[in-house]
Amino acid sequence: MAQHDIAVIGLAVMGQNLARNIARHGFKVAVYNRSAERTRELVTTHPDPNLTPCFDLETLVAALQPPRRLLLMVKAGEAVDRMIEQLQPLLAPGDILIDGGNSFFRDTERRATALAQAGIHFLGVGISGGEEGALHGPSIMPGGDRAAYAAVAPIFEAIAARAPDGTPCVAYLGPGGAGHYVKMVHNGIEYGDMQLIAESYDLLRRGAGLDAPALAEVFATWNQGELQSFLIEITADILRARDEESGQPLVDLILDTAGQKGTGKWTSQDSFELGVPIPTINAAVEMRMLSAQKEERVTAAQTLRGPAARPAHEPTALIEAVRAALYASKICAYAQGLALLRAASDERGYGLELATVARIWRAGCIIRARLLDEISAAFTAQPDLPNLLLAPAFAAAIAERDAAWRRAISAAIAQGIPVPALSSALHYYDAYRSERLPANLIQAQRDYFGAHTYARIDRPGLFHTNWSELVRRR
Ligand code: NBP
């Protein structure tokens, strides 16, 4: 019986599809779900000699060859702790428990430390690609004990997405919660990217008067060039889809309140913790919150006045400006996410290689995009690059688009169309390239009311001034 290569626990969309993917690659998979119906459904709907249903954890664990490898695909949070509690008494030192869900990296670190006491290895593995990716090839972001990872690497390498150069989109990233941390930041960048695309869509819809079918063409064209990415591709598809009953573009019938499960918020929270600015990702998280205040917005729309959108007669120039703005802003969103990864890695000893992170995001995951090839190349050429914006290829790409980027944002502001992600990216760029920011005044204010002291540009040391007396003395 102890002949199975791995167990998959939790057979909702992700677990089912990963189990099928692993089985299809020739590994013997024992599967288990808390409620037995899902287990039965999987093996009846998708029978595979490599998939063995188990209906209790004792049978499941006994079905595995040692060291046992178990992949948890249950809901992040409480469910993971409950499963660990039930599994731990059944496991032996050297066994490897893998959490493939979207767990918070600090939970992963806590669980890994607790299980290490019993000699059980705990790997926190981010898996991206949704339902399709899980079945046909996700991007996999593993963290934890390196030797334990080596024991599961052949399975992950077999099932992961392949980048255009044929390499699997998986690589050991670092100890502790490194894998889940990278997945969290991946999701933060995903939030940013989605918001940037949504703002571009809104600017062209309201500011250029384009309807959904026309916008579908715009996005499909963009997907042939530098913006080529999964999110642009699906946006073109979405804009093309019509409601079967009314025949109207389906996107126009969808309520404008966006949901969120927490990974974007965690990214923002940790950026504050580490003191790393990620304004475009934060804008995306905040715009989901503002979108959720639908009732208040409807009321405010009746009372608050601003400029009305005036669609341009000739939309071509605005379309080109928005394309440039979207690409330049996208570079900034990635730059922010990668800078956060760098800081977290330094602070927590993850030892992340950003070239590797970008490399495993090139296929399978939601933020897969053509520009990741160049990002990976930039960090390969200069592993300690402090910010992606400083890579010569990206500095040049932004410089080329600088004027159009500003034109697109000016058009949005003039017409009262909110573009907080696009404009936050531009402000990030302008602030990052400012040799002198107005923080001198802030330091003076802090010293004025709180005697917080300030440093000077003309001599070393810390200074305090009695500002009101100094002014009075003049
Ligand atoms: P869900 O996140 O919807 O979780 C459902 C699974 O968790 C079911 O198998 C359910 O069992 C199990 N479960 C729950 Br809920 N509470 C449990 C408990 N106390 N003990 C044991 N099992 C419990 O599933 P999913 O959408 O497949 O996602 C799985 C993980 O992958 C999550 O962490 C998710 O965030 C992550 N993820 C999802 C996606 C995606 O596109 N959906 C993409 C990337 C990552 P039951 O059937 O008995 O209720």
125 in Cβ contact with 132 (< 8 Å): no
Residue 257: its pLDDT value, please?
Answer: 95
Residue 1: its pLDDT value, please?
Answer: 66
CA of 147 to the centre of ligand 1 (A): 27
Torsion on CA atoms 14, 23, 56, 34, rounded to nearest 10: 10
Q: Give the mutation target among 8, 74, 265 for probing the ligand 1 site: most ligand atoms within 8 A of CB.
A: 74
Q: Give the mutation target among 14, 60, 111, 361 for probing the ligand 1 site: most ligand atoms within 8 A of CB.
A: 14
Separation in Å, CA 28 to CA 43, 47, 95, 98, 448: 13, 13, 17, 17, 70
User: What pairing do the DSSP bridges indicate for beta strands 69-72 and 6-9?
Assistant: parallel
Residue 308: its pLDDT value, please?
Answer: 86
Q: Is pLDDT at 396 greater than 90 in this prediction?
A: yes
**Nearest CA residue ID for atom 20, ligand 1:** 79
**Nearest CA residue ID for atom 35, ligand 1:** 102
Ligand 1 near 19 CB (within 6 A): no
Ligand 1 near 101 CB (within 6 A): yes
Please write the tens of the pLDDT for every residue from 380-391.
999 999 999 999
Average pLDDT of the residues of the chain: 97
Helix (H) / strand (E) containing 412: helix 392-415
Confirm or reject CATH 3.40.50.460 for domain 439-473, answering yes or no: no
Q: Give the mutation target among 75, 88, 140 for probing the ligand 1 site: most ligand atoms within 8 A of CB.
A: 75
Residue 395, exposed/middle/buried by CB under 10 A (0-12, 13-18, 19+)? middle
Ligand 1 near 84 CB (within 6 A): no
CA of 10 to the centre of ligand 1 (A): 6
Please write the tens of the pLDDT for every residue from 176-195.
999 999 999 999 999 999 99
Residue 2: its pLDDT value, please?
Answer: 75
Please write the tens of the pLDDT for every residue from 59-111.
999 999 999 999 999 999 999 999 999 999 999 999 999 999 999 999 999 99
CA of 74 to the centre of ligand 1 (A): 4
Angle at CA of residue 76, ends 70 and 79, nearest 5°: 70
For 6-176, the fitting CATH number among 3.40.50.720, 3.40.50.2020, 3.10.129.10, 3.30.1280.10 is 3.40.50.720
CA of 37 to the centre of ligand 1 (A): 15
Please write the tens of the pLDDT for every residue from 6-33.
999 999 999 999 999 999 999 999 999 9
Counting from 1 in the atom list of ligand 1, the atom nearest the Cα of 38 is 47
What's the average model confidence in pLDDT over 267-276? 98
Per the rule left: phi > 0, alpha: psi between -120 and 50, beta: everything else, 29 is: beta
Give percent of the chain above pLDDT 70. Answer: 100
The C-alpha R_g of the chain, in whole angstroms, comes to 25
Type of residue found at 56: D
Could you give the CA distance from residue 120 to residue 92 in angstroms, rounded to a whole number? 7
Counting from 1 in the atom list of ligand 1, the atom nearest the Cα of 76 is 33
Q: Is pLDDT at 474 greater than 90 in this prediction?
A: no
Matching fold, domains 6-176 and 439-473: no
Ordered DSSP codes for 270-334: HHHHHT---HHHHHHHHHHHHHH-HHHHHHHHHH---PPP---SSTHHHHHHHHHHHHHHHHHHH
CA of 75 to the centre of ligand 1 (A): 3
Helix (H) / strand (E) containing 426: helix 420-432
Question: Which tokens sit at 6?
Answer: 């791995």
Helix 178-208 to helix 263-274 angle (10° resolution) is 110
Ligand 1 near 9 CB (within 6 A): no
Residue 347: its pLDDT value, please?
Answer: 97
125 in Cβ contact with 143 (< 8 Å): yes
Q: Annotated active-site positions, please?
A: 183, 190
Q: Is pLDDT at 48 greater than 80 in this prediction?
A: yes
CA of 198 to the centre of ligand 1 (A): 28
Please write the tens of the pLDDT for every residue from 277-306.
999 999 999 999 999 999 999 999 999 999
Please write the tens of the pLDDT for every residue from 225-266.
999 999 999 999 999 999 999 999 999 999 999 998 889 999
Q: Is the N-terminal amide bond of 142 cis, ω within 30° of 0?
A: no
- Segments making up each domain of the chain, as ranges: 6-176, 183-432, 439-473
Please write the tens of the pLDDT for every residue from 315-350.
999 999 999 999 999 999 999 999 999 999 999 999
Could you give the CA distance from residue 439 to residue 262 in angstroms, rounded to a whole number? 32
**Nearest CA residue ID for atom 9, ligand 1:** 10
CA of 110 to the centre of ligand 1 (A): 20
Level-2 CATH architecture, domain 183-432 = Orthogonal Bundle (1.10)
**Nearest CA residue ID for atom 43, ligand 1:** 130
Residue 350: its pLDDT value, please?
Answer: 97
Residue 2, exposed/middle/buried by CB under 10 A (0-12, 13-18, 19+)? exposed
| Per-position b or e across 68-85, b if 16+ CB within 10 A of its CB | bbbbbbbebeeebeebbe
Q: Is pLDDT at 5 greater than 80 in this prediction?
A: yes
Helices of type H across 160-278: 178-208, 212-222, 230-240, 263-274
